[in-house]
Amino acid sequence: IQALTQLFLLLTGEAAVGKSSLVLRFVNNDFQENKEPTIGAAFLTQKCRLEDKVIKFEIWDTAGQERFHSLAPMYYRNAQAAVVVYDVTKAASLDKAKSWVKELQRQANPNIVIALAGNKIDLVQPAEESEEDPAENGREGGREGGRQVPTEEAKAYALEAGLLFFETSAKNGDGVRDIFVEIGTQ
């Protein structure tokens, strides 16, 4: 007989940083190149086995759009954990993530476990079998802007704010399971 623990988790962050894609990767081990934007919020569940227990994640995947912001408290009021997502190729998305963290730390359950996830690292990792123009790869900033948020900068912020920190790719799966396992463990 194994203990089954229910864990309410909220995903938030700017629109298009890949929140729904992270959930899709975790729940279905799948990725969609042109994922349609979430309207309002989506609810998904996924069981995850840890060493001595099974955690059932009850996940609220919220829309990042400003017009849904007033609904946010409905979702974070009962959340035991939150994953605040930004896009490593968009510096402004980290600013947005920081404002979410502030809001959660002020308004949500004081025991909430918050993880910061820098998503889309596949876009800034050297491609293993790249067929791109090498001149383009070497250029300052790179294609589509390249990395705009250095790992060390985000990590330092996460440490200071008391957050778990991950860099992830919903596209290739890197780091995705780690977020949920670490949150479940905590």
Binding site residues, ligand GDP, CB under 6 A = 15-21, 32-35, 37-38, 64, 119-120, 122-123, 169-171
Is 12 an interacting residue with respect to Mg ion (CB under 5 A)?
Answer: no
Residue 12 binds: one of Mg ion, ligand GDP, none (C-beta under 5 to 8 A by kind): none
Q: Which of 12, 20, 80, 89 binds Mg ion (CB under 5 A)?
A: 20
- Shortest Å distance, C-beta 105 to ligand GDP: 21
Q: Binder to Mg ion among 13, 25, 38, 171 (CB under 5 A)?
A: 38
Partner whose binding site includes residue 15, from ligand GDP, Mg ion, none (CB under 5 to 8 Å by kind): ligand GDP
CB of 3 to ligand GDP, least distance (A): 31
For residue 110, the minimal CB distance to ligand GDP (Å) is 26
Least distance from ligand GDP to the Cβ atom of residue 173, Å: 9
Q: For residue 78, how far is the Cα from the chain centroid?
A: 19
Contact positions toward Mg ion, by CB under 5 A?
A: 19-20, 38
